Amino acid sequence: MTPAKKSSRRKATPKAAAKQPSRGTKKASPRKATKATKATKATKATARRTVTNATDKHTVECIDNTARAVYGKILKKIAPELKSPVRSLSNVKYDPKVGYLEIGSSRKVRTLTVNTVKSFAQTLKMLNISKEMIEQDTFATKREAYYVSKNWAEARFKEQPESDTVMDDIESMFSLHGVSREQLRFYPEEHGGAVAGNLVVIDRDPVSGQELRIDCTKFGSGAYTIPHSVEHLGFETKAKFILAIETGGMFQRLQVHGFWNTSNCIIISMGGVPTRATRRFVRRLSEAKKIPVYAFVDCDPYGISNIYRTLKVGSGNTAHLNRFFCVPHAHYLGVTPQDIIDYELPTHPLLEVDIKRAKDALKNDPFFQQSKPWNKAINQLLKMKVRAEQQALAKWGLNYVIEEYLPRKLKATKAFLP
């Protein structure tokens, strides 16, 4: 009996089968496989998260509704429009009961035309970036947003002022829905103010998400720096008040000599006109812990009508955001025009720009127009024709401000300018 003839077809071993591509399927090249792997990793790195935070959900809904409205009108062959408040002092009102400069009813309308198609595309692309950042729990600075547009072909920005303008328009537009730029995840590159005193800031680790407790009494001769976004912060304090200080030099003096400890307060350096983050931090902290805010700035038209006014009621250019970034219950501790007389302070002559700024505040600024105490104080300064700095108190000794001036002023808080 002859043995059965073996089949000439060789049975594929598992190893061999693994090497053979299936019918109708092209074998992937190593280069393509590498690209696919990179794409997978990139997808994982930018995976969407489920948006559960109420603020983020509201922001995403506003973005979606805006995009749907534009898309819906285009399908109906109707030119879509984007509306935003007119950002100028002429479209601002002030009600002392509200406590800050409010945006008026005038609106700027941009209609989709041949001339505006690029700015429309840029606005929608920017909104898409915002939505993606919320879903990925990340952010972009204004500079980064400009560079992201370099992938937008004909819609890309040529210079950063273009992207800044679009971002400002978006922020203005969404302010009508109670949404700020920070909630859209576009963060300013400016630094926040410095903080020292009886305060524990409750933050979270940006990588692990774990809670961080930051004790503002433990920075030695340094201080805690306010981050660019403060919405997620919590606070613990038994301080009696917040002292917002114009200059870094005066802040350092009060910090090094422990004024915050002897007076049981929180001191914050504004560093000139306070940044958005600084104003929002002061606002949230003071409201959360129900403690008063006192401003300590130079006695000159700039310190009064720019620095203090911006802290308390906001500004005309950002009236659409003042409800987020101002501290209506703040009061002016000093230096006042009357302090110049009472403390016999060294002075400098008012410059032409100072006089113009003071007169402009009296004539055009709704906040000063409706405040008799401030009308009296500014007119007194104009009559005196001088200005004085915080540091002028050093005439009586380097620590006179700590030992005499501030304790004396703090005994008469009801006399503070509004």
Tell me the mean pLDDT in the region 72-95.
Answer: 85
* pLDDT tens-digit readout, 158-194: 999 899 888 888 888 888 888 888 889 888 777 779 9
* 135 and 212 inside one domain: no
* 118 and 80 inside one domain: yes
Domain boundary pick from 164, 187, 210? 187
Q: Say if residue 110 is exposed, middle or buried (CB neighbours under 10 Å; 0-12, 13-18, 19+).
A: middle
24 within a domain of the structure (yes/no): no
Separation of alpha carbons 165 and 181, rounded Å: 13
Mean pLDDT (the chain, rounded): 86
* 209 and 162 inside one domain: no
- Measured CA angle at 225 (ends 227, 198), to 5 deg: 115
16 within a domain of the structure (yes/no): no
Residue 194 · residue 253 · CB < 8 Å: no
Of 97-101, 108-112, 268-272, highest mean pLDDT: 268-272
22 pLDDT above the threshold of 70: no
Q: What pLDDT does 11 receive?
A: 42
* pLDDT tens-digit readout, 241-281: 999 999 999 999 999 999 999 999 999 999 999 998 999 99
* 285 and 257 inside one domain: yes
**11-20, 160-169, 382-391: the lowest-pLDDT one:** 11-20
What DSSP state is assigned to residue 22?
P
Long-range contacts of 285-292 (CB under 8 A, 24+ apart): 285/199, 285/235, 285/237, 285/242, 286/242, 286/327, 286/329, 288/234, 288/235, 289/235, 289/237, 289/239, 291/237, 291/239, 291/240, 291/241, 291/242, 292/241, 292/242, 292/329, 292/331, 292/413
64 within a domain of the structure (yes/no): yes
Tell me the mean pLDDT in the region 293-307.
Answer: 97
Domain boundary pick from 134, 157, 187? 187
Q: What pLDDT does 201 receive?
A: 97
Helix (H, G, I), strand (E, B) or coil at 23: coil
* 201 and 275 inside one domain: yes
11 within a domain of the structure (yes/no): no
36 within a domain of the structure (yes/no): no
Q: How many domains does the chain have?
A: 2
Q: What pLDDT does 24 receive?
A: 44
Q: What pLDDT does 48 receive?
A: 64
Of 101-105, 147-151, 357-361, highest mean pLDDT: 357-361
Q: What pLDDT does 317 receive?
A: 75
144 within a domain of the structure (yes/no): yes
| Residue ranges making up the domain that contains 100 | 54-187
Cα atoms found within 13 Å of the Cα of residue 383, Cβ hemisphere only:
10
* 171 and 298 inside one domain: no
Domain boundary pick from 134, 158, 187? 187
65 pLDDT above the threshold of 80: yes
* 239 and 100 inside one domain: no
If pLDDT is split at 50, 70 and 90, which confidence band does 82 have? confident
Separation of alpha carbons 274 and 34, rounded Å: 50
Q: Given 94, 100, 147, 400, which residue is catalytic?
A: 147
> pTM of whole model > 0.85?
no
Residue-level length of the chain: 418
CATH number at residue 154: 1.10.10.10
* pLDDT tens-digit readout, 52-61: 678 889 999 9
Tell me the mean pLDDT in the region 286-292.
Answer: 96
* 66 and 165 inside one domain: yes
12 within a domain of the structure (yes/no): no
Helix (H, G, I), strand (E, B) or coil at 245: strand
What DSSP state is assigned to residue 295?
E
* 305 and 327 inside one domain: yes
CA dihedral 195, 200, 201, 203 (to 10 degrees): 140
For residue 365, the tally of other CB atoms under 10 A from its CB is 22
Q: Could you give phi then psi for residue 29, rounded to 5 degrees? A: -75, 155
* 216 and 339 inside one domain: yes
39 pLDDT above the threshold of 50: no
Residue 127 · residue 67 · CB < 8 Å: yes
- 294 a catalytic residue: no
399 pLDDT above the threshold of 90: yes
Residues 6+ apart with CB under 8 A from 84: 107, 108, 110, 169, 172, 173, 176, 320
**96-100, 271-275, 349-353: the lowest-pLDDT one:** 96-100
CATH number at residue 383: 3.40.1360.10
* 82 and 210 inside one domain: no
18 within a domain of the structure (yes/no): no
Three-class DSSP labels, 176-244: CCCCCCCCCCEECCCCCCEEEECCEEEEECCCCCCEEEEECCCCCCCCEECCCCCCCCEEECCCCEEEE
326 pLDDT above the threshold of 50: yes
19 pLDDT above the threshold of 90: no
